[in-house]
């Protein structure tokens, strides 16, 4: 089996194995260190091993129990959210929190403590998890929840897979009337306008996020489209479509160049906006129609940069700096996080703004990002490990000074390329 991260950068050699059953013991299947992984939707190296074994859990994907009345579901950790929705949505239950793609596993959603467009109302994914079953490499099983073995629970949520293999996840779902969302799209011309929109929307709108045109040099810097939505009461078929188009091979590197990215962003900004009822799938997962779109970046791969900072001016400075160096992000997202307390020890979200940029993985990009790291650190911000492939050891430790609290919970047989990079520990 081949294994790569979503950004396809860095490329590391590793052995990939699949777990099919809970009764299989991963520590007996691998020699040396291993890393439990899901669908490899993390952009960087949290889902990679450097010359060890990655154990994909995507075939360990069975539902264990689903209570239609209370909306509680217990499932094996490898089930994809797309698959989970097939089971729950026909009964009127939706994910309490969902990332921008439905092709992630429950285990992956827990281990990165993912967030969605409703962070300001619902917090992170981990806040809705009621119980985890963890399997350690000595064969021990730990059943952890907010009331039982709580330190293990906190360490495992957002724990980047390092505390053991998550075998089961229990989740509290969210009641919805139907598969539709009523959405409004509003064009804004500056970050100030964005700020006003988000302040006035976050109370009445469950989902808010903005797309920003990150390919403007000065005029129009910080312009974008604000997206807000609420679940609608309209009934309908809860279809969960697969990708409509698949990118079968990696594209040529010239395809996504500064010029084509600027064109795309310009067109996207000026596209006609239609508010109204929208099926949940394109609302939450607009990119899922294009299977393997990550191949469009070609051989070099790409990096995603997601930071959290409580300073909108800095967002503007970051955009301007990238533009100055012709590092135009193909797809850029801005959102204001809420104040919900973090569910896990290493959870990423914190009060403030979060900006996400996609950039081709080349030396220029890496240089620019090193500068951004500096600003983010000075502002007391953070960088999201789920997206990262390059931050320095020092940067990580300053972003997450609580990283030491993880030590007692780390599984001695488990490690990731990310962890080796940022902690400096070789297994």
Partner 1 sequence: MNVVVFGATSAIAQAASHFWAARGDRLLLVARNADNLNAVANDLRARYDVDIATHQADLADVAGVPDLVHSVFESMSQVDRVLIAYGTLPDQEACEIIPADAWPHLTTNFVSPVILVGELSRRMASHGGCIGVITSVAGERGRRSNYVYGSAKAGLMTFLQGMRHRLHGTKLHICDIRPGFIATPMTQHLKQGLLFAKPAKVAPRLVQAMDRGKSVVYLPGFWRWIMWVIRAMPTYIMHRTKL
Ligand X SMILES: Cc1cc2nc3c(=O)[nH]c(=O)nc-3n(C[C@H](O)[C@H](O)[C@H](O)COP(=O)(O)OP(=O)(O)OC[C@H]3O[C@@H](n4cnc5c(N)ncnc54)[C@H](O)[C@@H]3O)c2cc1C
Site string (75-94) toward ligand X, x via CB under 6 A: --x-----------------
Dist. CA 262–CA 303, nearest whole Å: 18
In the bound state with partner 1, the residue whose beta carbon lies nearer, of 106 and 157, is: 106
Q: Which of 12, 15, 18, 375 binds partner 1 (CB under 8 A)?
A: 18
Site residues (CB under 6 A) for ligand X, limited to 260-299? 287
Q: Collapsing DSSP states into helix, strand and coil, what is residue 133?
A: strand
Q: Chain centroid to CA 328: how far?
A: 21
In the bound state with partner 1, the residue whose beta carbon lies nearer, of 81 and 309, is: 81
Partner from partner 1, ligand X, none contacting 389, C-beta within 5 to 8 A by type? none
Dist. CA 5–CA 64, nearest whole Å: 29
Nearest to 298 by CA among 351, 251, 339: 251
Interaction of residue 208 with ligand X, rule CB under 6 A: no
Partner from partner 1, ligand X, none contacting 105, C-beta within 5 to 8 A by type? ligand X
Interaction of residue 344 with ligand X, rule CB under 6 A: no
Site residues (CB under 6 A) for ligand X, limited to 375-394? 386
Site residues (CB under 8 A) for partner 1, limited to 237-276? none
Q: Which of 31, 32, 51, 59 binds partner 1 (CB under 8 A)?
A: 59
Interaction of residue 22 with partner 1, rule CB under 8 A: yes
Write the CB contacts of 342 (distance below 8 Å, at least 6 apart in sequence): 113, 124, 158, 349, 350
Interaction of residue 23 with partner 1, rule CB under 8 A: yes
Site residues (CB under 6 A) for ligand X, limited to 93-132? 99-101, 104-105, 107-109, 111-112, 114-116
b/e for 85-118, b at 16 or more Cβ within 10 A?
A: beebbeebbbbbbbbbbbbbbbbbbbbbbbbbbb
List phi, psi (to 5°) of 24.
Answer: -80, 135
Partner from partner 1, ligand X, none contacting 39, C-beta within 5 to 8 A by type? ligand X
Size of the site for ligand X (CB under 6 A): 33
Interaction of residue 20 with partner 1, rule CB under 8 A: yes
Three-state secondary structure string covering 217-282: CCCCCCCEEEEEEEECCCCCCCCCCCCCEECCCCCCCCCCCHHHHHHHHHHHHHCCCCCEEEEHHH
Q: Which of 12, 25, 63, 185 binds partner 1 (CB under 8 A)?
A: 63
Dist. CA 158–CA 124, nearest whole Å: 10
Site string (1-40) toward ligand X, x via CB under 6 A: -----x----------------------------xxxxxx
* Cβ-contact 101, 38 below 8 angstroms: no
- Count of helix runs (H) and strand runs (E) in the chain: 12, 20
Site string (158-187) toward ligand X, x via CB under 6 A: --xx---xx---------------------
Interaction of residue 218 with partner 1, rule CB under 8 A: no
Q: Chain centroid to CA 161: how far?
A: 14
Q: Are strands 15-18 and 53-56 parallel, antiparallel or unpaired?
A: parallel
Q: Collapsing DSSP states into helix, strand and coil, what is residue 128?
A: helix
Query: Exposed, middle or buried, 204 (CB in 10 Å: 0-12/13-18/19+)?
Result: exposed
Site residues (CB under 8 A) for partner 1, limited to 80-119? 86-87
* Cβ-contact 224, 238 below 8 angstroms: no
Interaction of residue 21 with partner 1, rule CB under 8 A: yes
Part in contact with partner 1 (CB under 8 A); list of ranges 58-66, 92-100, 153-161, 378-386: 58-66
Q: Which residues bind ligand X (CB under 6 A)?
A: 6, 35-42, 46-47, 57, 77, 99-101, 104-105, 107-109, 111-112, 114-116, 160-161, 165-166, 287, 386, 416
Q: Which residues bind partner 1 (CB under 8 A)?
A: 1, 17-18, 20-23, 59, 62-66, 76, 86-87
């Amino acid at each position: 089996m081949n294994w790569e991260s979503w950004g396809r950068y860095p490329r590391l050699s590793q052995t990939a194995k699949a777990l099919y059953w809970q009764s299989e013991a991963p520590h007996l299947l691998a020699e040396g260190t291993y890393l439990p992984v899901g669908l490899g939707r993390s952009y960087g190296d949290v889902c990679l091993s450097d010359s060890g074994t990655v154990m994909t859990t995507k075939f360990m994907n069975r539902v264990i129990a689903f209570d239609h009345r209370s909306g509680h579901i217990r499932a094996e950790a490898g089930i994809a959210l797309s698959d989970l929705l097939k089971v729950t949505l026909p009964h009127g239950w939706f994910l309490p929190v969902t990332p921008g793609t439905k092709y992630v596993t429950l285990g992956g959603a827990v281990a990165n403590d993912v967030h969605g467009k409703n962070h300001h109302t619902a917090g992170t994914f981990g806040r809705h998890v009621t119980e985890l079953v963890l399997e350690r490499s000595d064969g021990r099983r730990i059943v952890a929840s907010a009331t039982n073995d709580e330190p293990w629970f906190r360490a495992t949520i957002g724990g980047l897979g390092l505390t053991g293999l998550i075998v089961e996840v229990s989740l509290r779902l969210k009641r919805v009337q139907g598969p539709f969302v009523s959405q409004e799209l509003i064009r804004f011309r500056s970050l100030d306008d964005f700020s006003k929109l988000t302040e006035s929307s976050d109370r009445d709108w469950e989902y808010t996020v903005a797309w920003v045109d990150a390919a403007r040099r000065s005029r129009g810097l910080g312009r974008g489209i604000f997206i807000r939505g609420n679940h609608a009461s309209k009934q309908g078929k809860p279809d969960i479509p697969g990708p409509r188009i698949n990118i079968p091979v990696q594209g040529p590197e010239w395809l996504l160049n500064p010029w084509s990215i600027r064109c795309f962003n310009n067109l996207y900004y000026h596209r006609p906006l239609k508010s109204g009822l929208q099926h949940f799938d394109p609302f939450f997962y607009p990119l899922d129609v294009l299977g393997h779109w990550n191949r469009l970046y070609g051989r070099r791969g790409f990096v995603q940069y997601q930071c959290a900072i409580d300073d909108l001016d800095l967002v503007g400075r970051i955009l301007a700096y990238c533009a100055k160096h012709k590092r135009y992000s193909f797809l850029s997202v801005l959102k204001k996080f809420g104040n919900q307390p973090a569910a896990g020890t290493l959870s990423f979200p914190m009060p403030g703004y979060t900006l996400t940029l996609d950039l081709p993985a080349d030396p220029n990009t890496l240089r620019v990002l090193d500068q951004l790291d500096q600003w983010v650190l000075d502002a007391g911000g953070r960088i999201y490990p789920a997206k990262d492939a390059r931050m320095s050891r020092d940067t990580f430790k300053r972003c997450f000074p609580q990283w030491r609290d993880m030590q007692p919970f780390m599984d001695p047989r488990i490690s990731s390329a990310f962890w080796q990079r940022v902690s400096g520990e070789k297994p």
